[in-house]
Amino acid sequence: MTFEELKITRQFLNAIDDCGYSAPSPIQEKAIPRISAGQDVIGIAQTGTGKTAAFALPVLQKVKYAQDLPPRALVLVPTKELAMQVYEVFITLAKYTDIRCIALYGGVGPKTQLEKLSNGVDIIIGTPGRFLDLYLRGGIVTKKIKTMVLDECDRMMDMGFMPQLRNILEVIPTKRQNLLFSATFPERVERLSEEFLLWPTKIEVSPQATPVASVKQLKTPVPNIRTKLHFVSYLLEEVYKEDRALVFVRTKEQAEQISKYLERTISGGVRGMHSNKAQNTRLHSMSLFREGAIRVLVSTDVASRGIDVPETKVVINCTVPTNSADYVHRIGRTGRAFREGVAHTLYDPSEKMYLSAIESHLPSKNEIIDSPMPDSIPIEETPPWEAKQMAKDIDYQKRKADPNYKGAFHEKKRKESGKSGDSRRRRK
Ligand code: AMP
């Protein structure tokens, strides 16, 4: 199929040509005709599938040209980074039109955004918080909004944006077209969709929570964090020494410490991305990474949203995510724009259960292949604090998996109370 067959008009075809897209991606093929026909659409598609253009093109076609002052389309996204990235897609595709787009996000003063809004915009791309903030300041006239897009809806729910979304739904016209995009379709997203979409058409490009097929997935058991660090350095220095890589960790402290460690041990430049870093620092790191000025980003799940760098060759999970949606999101950072990628997960004994749970959610064709640790990597001893942490984590997971599991702690208590019971009996 071609973009012409999707009835994309000339000025957008020219912009698509400039982007170098030769044919529509599957989500574009399926979503564009339905959105153009005015239907409410639920699109289940991961990042990297071309989903942004799948809604941007028909929305732009509907908006057509600059008109009046108030906006006519609203795209809501979970993070500032994603707002900027989606905004880029819109302005790139709108290049041969006079359509005015604006990105609204926090972390910067509202003045410039309010000024731009008062000069007239056609499409708003923003985070729910900033949109509401500017609306409450009287900076946004909502009555002309005819299309609303919720992008990365699952993530928006995870980040607790539900109350803001509800408020926004109350202040925009009820007669409008709704588009909902999400990488996964958990129950709470389904409930939200039932709340405000009208007879939606559901489009799925790949089964729910399926990593893109162009990503080769590997896993290696590693006893502790210090050995993991040796292994990560080895992968970055020996195996993927020329490649752009993302290293995922669980906490901001880990992101900070591990990026500092890698800065000392590997070449090519490393930066840490986590929510304690100022927005501008994060954006700067991301653009350095995009340009290839640095080779490695160490990131937490939240900070990684919106990283769209098609050259990312490898994703290393230095810690295993605790749910399969995060896993799919993480590894979706590679294999983007139809390139080959590798996702390598390192798991310690306490992460085995998390990984098994993730694997049970993946379709069989998406198998994670065992990849043994090379002999050259020194194996460190697990320090007592880490062993204790792991034991506690395993206990927690077992408790969650089985409500009847009493746990090591409980066992001990029972034994103790048993002892006192005995002594009571003896006293009798
Ligand atoms: P997205 O899923 O929107 O995050 O897009 C992921 C990447 O795919 C971006 O780098 C886009 O520029 C690229 N892309 C989008 N549509 C196409 C297409 N039809 N052909 C090739 N690349 C595309």
CA dist 235 and 216 (Å) reads 15
Record the pTM: 0.60
| Protein residue with least CA distance to atom 20, ligand 1 | 21
Which tens digits make up the pLDDT trace of 94-151?
Answer: 999 999 999 999 999 999 999 999 999 999 999 999 999 999 999 999 999 999 999 9
pLDDT band at 198 (very low <50, low <70, confident <90, very high): confident
Residue 347 has pLDDT above 80, yes or no: yes
Neighbours of 19 (CB within 10 A): 12
**C-alpha 337 – ligand 1 centre gap (Å):** 5
Q: How close is the Cα of 223 to the center of ligand 1, in Å?
A: 38
In the predicted model, is pLDDT for residue 428 greater than 50? no
From 193-207, 241-255, 283-297, the region with the lowest mean pLDDT: 193-207
More confident residue, 81 or 277: 81
pLDDT bin (cut points 50, 70, 90) of residue 206 is low
Average pLDDT of 212-220?
A: 85
Mean of the per-residue pLDDT values for the chain?
88
Out of 221-230, 242-251, 324-333, least confident range:
324-333
Give residue 48 CA to ligand 1 midpoint distance, Å: 6
Nearest atom of ligand 1 to the alpha carbon of 337: 8
The domains located in the chain, with CATH, are: 10-204 (3.40.50.300), 215-370 (3.40.50.300)
Dist. CA 232 → ligand 1 center (Å) = 29
Which residues make Cβ contacts (< 8 Å) with residue 297, sequence separation at least 6?
A: 245, 246, 247, 270, 271, 272, 273, 285, 286, 289, 307
416 vs 31 pLDDT, higher one: 31
β-strand partners of 41? 179, 201
pLDDT for the residue numbered 72:
98
Protein residue whose Cα sits closest to atom 13 of ligand 1: 337
Lowest mean pLDDT among 8-12, 103-107, 362-366: 362-366
CA distance to 170, 355, 417, per residue, from 23 (Å): 38, 36, 71
Cβ(248)–Cβ(318) below 8 Å: yes
What is the number of other CB atoms lying within 10 angstroms of the CB of residue 375?
Answer: 7
Which residues are near ligand 1 (CB < 6 Å)? 21, 24-25, 28, 47-53, 308, 310, 336-337
Of 68-72, 205-209, 250-254, 322-326, give the lowest mean pLDDT range.
205-209
Return the pLDDT at 291.
86
In whole angstroms, what is the distance from residue 311 CA to residue 333 CA?
Answer: 10
3-state secondary structure the chain: CCCCCCCCCHHHHHHHHHHCCCCCCHHHHHHHHHHHCCCCEEEECCCCCCHHHHHHHHHHHHHCCCCCCCCCEEEECCCHHHHHHHHHHHHHHCCCCCCCEEEECCCCCCHHHHHHHHCCCCEEEECHHHHHHHHHCCCCCCCCCCEEEECCHHHHHHCCCHHHHHHHHHHCCCCCEEEEEECCCCHHHHHHHHHHCCCCEEEECCCCCCCCCCEEEEEEECCCHHHHHHHHHHHHHHHCCCCEEEEECCCHHHHHHHHHHHHHHCCCCEEEECCCCCHHHHHHHHHHHHHCCCCEEEECCCCCCCCCCCCEEEEEECCCCCCHHHHHHHHCCCCHHHCCEEEEEEECHHHHHHHHHHHHHCCHHHCCEECCCCCCCCCCCCCHHHHHHHHHHHHHHHHHHCCCCCHHHHHHHHHHHHHHHHHHHHHC
The Å distance, Cα 61 to ligand 1 centre, comes to 18
The predicted pLDDT at position 91 comes to 98
Check residue 213 and give its pLDDT: 67
The rounded distance, in Å, linking the Cα atoms of 147 and 38 is 9
**Atom 21 of ligand 1: nearest residue by CA position:** 21
pLDDT digits (tens, 9 = 90+) for 376-419: 999 999 999 999 999 999 988 888 777 777 766 554 444 444 44
Q: What is the pLDDT of residue 419?
A: 44
What atom of ligand 1 comes closest to residue 21's alpha carbon? 20
pLDDT of residue 421: 41
The predicted structure's pLDDT at residue 408: 63
pLDDT at residue number 427: 38
Least confident of 15-24, 177-186, 218-227, 322-331: 322-331
**CA of residue 383 relative to chain centroid, distance:** 33
* pLDDT for res 406: 73
How much distance in Å is there from the Cα of 339 to the middle of ligand 1?
A: 11
| Residue 85, both tokens | 């990235």
pLDDT at 52 over 90: yes
* pLDDT category of residue 276 using cuts at 50, 70 and 90: confident
End-to-end CA distance of the chain: 88
- Per-residue pLDDT at 417: 47
CA 46 to ligand 1: nearest atom:
2
Within 10 Å of residue 99's Cβ, how many Cβ atoms? Answer: 23
